[in-house]
Every structure is written in C-alpha cells, then in structure tokens.
C-alpha cells in the first residue's frame, strides 16, 4: 500500500512538473527581432545605393526645406526642389555646410546625425544625380 502511495505521489509530481514546464514555455517570450538600424542608428549606415528620391530628398525636406528655412523667399539657397539642391551641390555649399560644418552649423537644431551626413556625402560623391 505504501508503494502505491509513493507511486501515485511520483506520478502527481511528474505531472505537476510537466504542467509547470509547459506553462513556462507558453509564457516565455517568443523570438524577438529588432531592427538594428532603429536600435543603433549611428552604427549602421548603408550608403551603397543612395538615391535622390529615396534617401536625400526626404532628408532635405525634413531638415532643410522646412517653413522659415530654405524655401522660396525665406532663406537662400532655395532647397525646395532638386534644381536648388543640385545648384548647392555643384557649387560646394552643400558639402561645406551639411557634411563639413563650415562656416555655420545647419540645421538650426544642430548638425545632422552622422548617418544622414554620410548619406548626403555619398550622394554628392556620386555627382548628385537625380535618381
């Protein structure tokens, strides 16, 4: 009789452990993948395929050609179009201000993040194409 009680206790203990193990597996977090670029924006900067329309234009529109800045009639150069940006790229003023930080730091909120600077530098080095 004592053996049956021990056997029953062992079975209950084994079942309890299995239930706890299964619950732990179900409640444990699953696989979680982070976007490396979002987590570490300054450590991952892909400048291999920089284009005007997908990479540079959004930076210019978000940082430069904003109200009260480089738009028609407010502040020169006008960076609201590719033509204006291309002019600034060709005369060296874009590289001087955005990439090198000469003579003033732009935008007014401080220098662009390193990856954005590298993106613009890669585009300028490619001849500032309209692509």
User: Where along the chain do its domains lie?
Assistant: 1-32, 42-125
Task: Determine which of 40-49, 60-69, 84-93 has the lowest per-residue pLDDT on average.
Answer: 40-49
State the Cα–Cα distance between residues 60 and 14, nearest whole angstrom: 65
pLDDT at 120: 92
Report whether 110 contacts 40 (CB < 8 A).
no
| pTM of the predicted protein model | 0.62
**Residue that wins the pLDDT comparison between 26 and 85:** 85
pLDDT at 20: 77
Q: What is the CA radius of gyration of the chain?
A: 29
| H-helix segments, 28-113 | 36-39, 57-63, 82-90, 93-94
pLDDT tens for residues 57-72?
999 888 887 787 777 8
Token digits of residue 61: 């529109």
pLDDT at 105: 52
pLDDT at 8: 66
What is the percent of the chain with per-residue pLDDT over 70, rounded to a whole number?
70
């Amino acid at each position: 009789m004592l053996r049956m009680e021990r056997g029953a206790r062992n079975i209950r203990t084994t079942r309890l452990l299995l239930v706890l193990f299964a619950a732990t597996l179900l409640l444990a977090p699953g696989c979680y993948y982070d976007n490396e670029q979002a987590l570490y924006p300054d450590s991952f900067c892909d400048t291999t395929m920089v284009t005007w329309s997908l990479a540079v234009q959004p930076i210019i529109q978000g940082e430069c050609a904003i109200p009260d800045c480089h738009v028609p009639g407010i502040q020169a150069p006008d960076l609201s179009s590719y033509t204006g940006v291309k002019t600034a790229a060709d005369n060296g003023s874009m590289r001087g201000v955005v990439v090198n930080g000469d003579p003033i730091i732009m935008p007014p909120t401080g220098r662009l993040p390193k990856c954005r600077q590298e993106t613009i530098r890669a585009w300028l080095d490619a001849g500032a194409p309209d692509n």
